[in-house]
Amino acid sequence: MTIISAKKEGGYMPKTLTVANWKMNGNRKLWKELAREVTAGMSEINTKVVLATPAAAFADVSSFLSEHSKVSLGAQDIHQQSSGAHTGDISAEMVKDFGGKYTLVGHSERRLEHHEKGFLLNDKVKQAIKEGLVPIFCFGESLGQKENGRTLSVLEEQVNEALEGVVLKTGEELVLAYEPVWAISSSAGSLGREPSEGELSEVFEFIYKLLLERFGESVASNVKLLYGGSVKADNVAKIISNRYIAGVLVGGASLKADSFLAIARGVASKPNEV
Ligand code: PEP
């Protein structure tokens, strides 16, 4: 199956999404300010956003979101099991209890610092879907892998491992975020730049093709594909112009409401529905 045939049949056109990854930053004062300012600013912006906050922020942040249809709460990780003796972890059920709708899975910092990969991430994706959370599965090659010409083979392995045995009804239950480790602003050895338009096209066409082969067009075309790594207000328009990119995942620039809202505004400029 080729990309051209998908395009001819209507092809890829999911709704847009912007995800903030606050990582392990801030305190209650900052979290509440950010949640208040983002929810207020989003009333003018025609897209949806997710705030992937530290678990300690769930209560404060969720108090601003309860009635907000455009801003959702997300976790940065969940455990692959429902409950039990897993010190330090949080479950999908706990995220949902605070109104959370999404969870990141497999962020490169979890892969690096907590050695998460392969089967474990597959289990986390399945657990999120089973519990009714949308997993935002993060994947991406390191600088060394890129320099050795292994980008596509690494991505294929990461995505195929994570999606093994995953059953989707519509495709809206899954988000994939391509985050090349070399582009993440805070990574050691980061090049501090987003990929070129050519690099993005090569990767996103490839990933969409993997989805087409695995799920077929009617489901693949509803899976949101995001880009993450050094996204800012001044490069988001170029990134979002790629036809396979439905939105962005934002780290550093999500810690200031005005820069995050400017990025969401850029995403919303993509001709699409909320
Ligand atoms: C990230 O780590 O998920 C990320 C996208 O970071 P940044 O936007 O700071 O590059």
Give the Cα separation of 231 and 18 in Å (integer): 11
Q: How far is CA 75 from CA 72, 148, 173, in A?
A: 10, 33, 15
Q: Which of 53, 109, 139, 179 to mutate to test the pocket of ligand 1 (most atoms within 8 A of CB)?
A: 179
Q: Which amino acid is at 157?
A: E
> Residue 155 and residue 8: Cα distance in Å, rounded?
26
Distance 181 CA to ligand 1 centre (A): 9
Give this prediction's pTM: 0.94
Per-residue pLDDT of the chain (274 residues; tens, 9 = 90+): 344 444 444 577 789 999 999 999 999 999 999 999 999 999 999 999 999 999 999 999 999 997 778 999 999 999 999 999 999 999 999 999 999 999 999 999 999 999 999 999 999 999 999 999 999 999 999 999 999 999 999 999 999 999 999 999 999 999 999 999 999 988 877 888 899 999 999 999 999 999 999 999 999 999 999 999 999 999 999 999 999 999 999 999 999 999 999 999 999 999 765 4
8 Å CB contact between 264 and 19: no
Give the pLDDT score at 38.
97
- Residues known to be catalytic: 107, 179
3-class DSSP assignment, residue 78: coil
Say what the pLDDT of residue 272 is: 65
Cα–ligand 1 centroid distance for 23 (angstroms) = 9
Q: What is the model's pLDDT at position 66?
A: 78
Cα 86 to middle of ligand 1, angstroms: 27
Q: What is the CATH number of domain 17-31+47-62+72-250?
A: 3.20.20.70
- Give residue ranges with CB within 6 A of ligand 1: 21, 179, 184-186, 228-231, 249-253
pLDDT score for 5:
40
Among protein residues, the one with the nearest Cα to ligand 1's atom 2 is: 251
Rg (CA), the chain: 17
* Phi then psi dihedrals of residue 7, to 5 deg: -65, -45
